[in-house]
A and B are shown apart, each in its own frame.
Chain A
Amino acid sequence: DAKTTQPNSMESNEEEPVHLPCNHSTISGTDYIHWYRQLPSQGPEYVIHGLTSNVNNRMASLAIAEDRKSSTLILHRATLRDAAVYYCILSHWDMRFGAGTRLTVKP
């Protein structure tokens, strides 16, 4: 199974950009890169996903390395509501979650 490696925790200041890294050196050609986040006492929430090209949506941007062995989730202006555990997942048809990165946002 393809696996991902993320830092256990990161801190950010409010209204500053946040770059959350993910390594996935064993990614296969058909694996999509998904990012979900989980706020306290809630189920995971979809953030963004991509295959090869960088992606943007209203929540975030996803930058994918040319060799696809790493990716970065970019929150352009962190807010206190972005404090959550962020999961980087390689999916073909099922989702295999790791431990994720706990993001703390300081006022």
Chain B
Amino acid sequence: ETGVTQSPTHLIKTRGQQVTLRCSSQSGHNTVSWYQQALGQGPQFIFQYYREEENGRGNFPPRFSGLQFPNYSSELNVNALELDDSALYLCASSPLAGAPGETQYFGPGTRLLVL
């Protein structure tokens, strides 16, 4: 069974650029959630995708957007990058969206540095 994978592992961008991060969910999982983790803080929920539709969103501006594909893999897109977007971006998959008590399985993350 393959776990959650993310690419790239590291990325450097400059302010104002756009970035796309990718996530492959664990086999059999149809739900993907994205988190932003700033240095020294806990992960903050960005949004969740279930069967190619956004299923919920945290307190992030519209320049953070996402996609989920028929194979349940997902992308996180961030436009107009700001210095504060520098963080570890985590993807997590789960087998069934919205099920109470459902466990999420996290990937290793993509570390983004915005200069």
Contacts and interface: CB of A to CB of B under 8 A. Distances in A.
Interface in A25-52: 30, 32, 34, 36, 41-46, 49, 51
A104 interface: no
B56 interface: yes
Contact of A99 (B42, B45, B98): B42
Interface secondary structure of A, over-half rule: loop
Contact of B56 (A87, A93, A98): A93
B104 A95 contact: yes
Given A32-B100, A43-B109, A44-B106, A94 B43 contact: no
A91 B105 CA distance: 14
B42 A100 contact: yes
B93 to A, nearest CB: 11
Nearest to B88: A43
Nearest to A100: B42
A45 B106 contact: yes
Given A43-B106, A92-B100, A93-B100, 14 more contacts: A30-B100, A43-B4, A43-B108, A44-B90, A46-B103, A51-B101, A93-B56, A93-B98, A93-B99, A94-B56, A95-B92, A97-B42, A98-B42, A99-B41
